[in-house]
Amino acid sequence: MIVDGQAEFRSLLMHHVTAHWPDAIISAYDPIVAGRLPEEFSGAGNDIILLGDKQGQVDPMKTLAQFTRVAGFPPVVFFGSELEDHDRARRFGADGYFAREKVPHGPFIEGLREILLSQRRLASTASLFVGDIGTGVYPIIRGYRLISKLAMSEHSAVYLAEKTSADMKIVLKVLRQAPDLSEGIGAFDRFLQEYEMIAELDHPNVVKIYDLGVGDNHAHIAMEYLEGGTLRRKLEKKVSGPEAVRLTKEIASALACIHSVGILHRDLKPGNVMMRSDDTVALIDFGLAKRMRLQQEITDSGQIFGTPYYMSPEQGHANEVDARSDIYSLGVIFYELLTGDKPYTASNAMGIIFKHSKAPVPLLPPKHAKYQALLNMLLAKKPDDRLQTAEEVLEWL
């Protein structure tokens, strides 16, 4: 949980955390807007509290002391802007301290890891999957032969595998259950939710799901193997205007499908758009997606997800998002396909988030000027000024 009165700083901390722990659930609390947390706040359900010194009219050290005197309260990391804050934070019981003006990613993540491990709140990565392909020590999934590891995070790993009964290459996403850890249970719930959402869909531009299995200490999803790589490979080469339109239409078609059943993607970016061997698009990685109709039992309001280069203004400021946020992200991809560049860049995540909210929509080069009107409606700062549905985007394209 992040408690600070500056939205951009909360977003920055979120990006540090999710870059290392993609499955993390982060709730953001603004004490300036919502008021000071009550004395009876116990921190229950949180593994760690990230407390900034922007607490409105309240002395942040009073808030820190309020937290640390509660028996069983989660560890607290404090972010200060004054030289004396470090010593004061330690005296008031903070488990860690960083200067908010500059949060170095490596030391920050390592500091959180040490605190969480000392509190027995974090499963060691080494214990998640005890070996690599080639060593002979890896999860045994009945009916599949693992070929290579493609990716790994704190709670899950992705493998290229072969379905032994069909001589067919597939991708296996494997999640290790950790029933003794609340964090692990949450990750397992989200893993199953991810499968249920995608399994409902049958669309040529959404990844196909073949199987779900649950074992004694893991669950797995078997999904389509997309051998064409990610959309990033396309961006490394010159893409013509008509080709950019085709690719954007296929992504928009996938969004229209998922939005029609109440799913937001919320992390639309080239790395989550895969290419088949026939050069068609398949949307993947719904780990950050959420049914719009679900009550917020797994994710809290104010939670921020996504990648800053492709993040809508409302998402970057932890405001409520809907399908129009995915449409904004699609606009970023469309611009990048046409130009080879991202519309907004900066030296840090906070700078990028600021530009998404305040900088004008960039102009396309003259050869692509006919797409400017569409781009303006995709990248409008206010959701009401954008195209409202993916179907409208398809009509324009």
Residues 197 and 29: their CA atoms lie apart, in Å, by 28
Cβ neighbours of residue 257 closer than 8 Å, sequence gap 6 or more: 201, 203, 205, 206
Measured CA distances, 318 to 149, 164, 241, 259 (Å): 34, 45, 34, 20
CA distance 397 to 395: 6
Rounded Cα distance between 64 and 163, Å, is 53
Left if phi > 0, otherwise alpha if psi is -120 to 50, otherwise beta: which for 229?
Answer: left
Sequence-distant (≥ 6) Cβ neighbours of residue 109 within 8 angstroms: 16, 17, 20
| Helix, strand, coil percentages, rounded to 5, for the chain | 40, 15, 45
CA distance 136 to 370: 56
Q: Which of 47, 95, 267, 285 is catalytic?
A: 267
Active-site residue 267, yes or no?
Answer: yes
Minimal CA–CA distance to 3: which of 37, 40, 44, 39? 37
Report the alpha-carbon distance of residue 194 to residue 292 in Å, rounded. 14
Element (H, E) at 77: strand 76-80
Q: Which residues pair with 52 in a beta bridge?
A: 79
DSSP string for 307-329: -GGG--HHHHTT----HHHHHHH
Distance CA 133, CA 118 (A): 30
> Cα(373)–Cα(394) distance, rounded to whole angstroms?
14
Q: Let me know: does 108 contact 169? Beta carbons within 8 Å.
A: no
Task: Enumerate the active-site residues.
Answer: 267
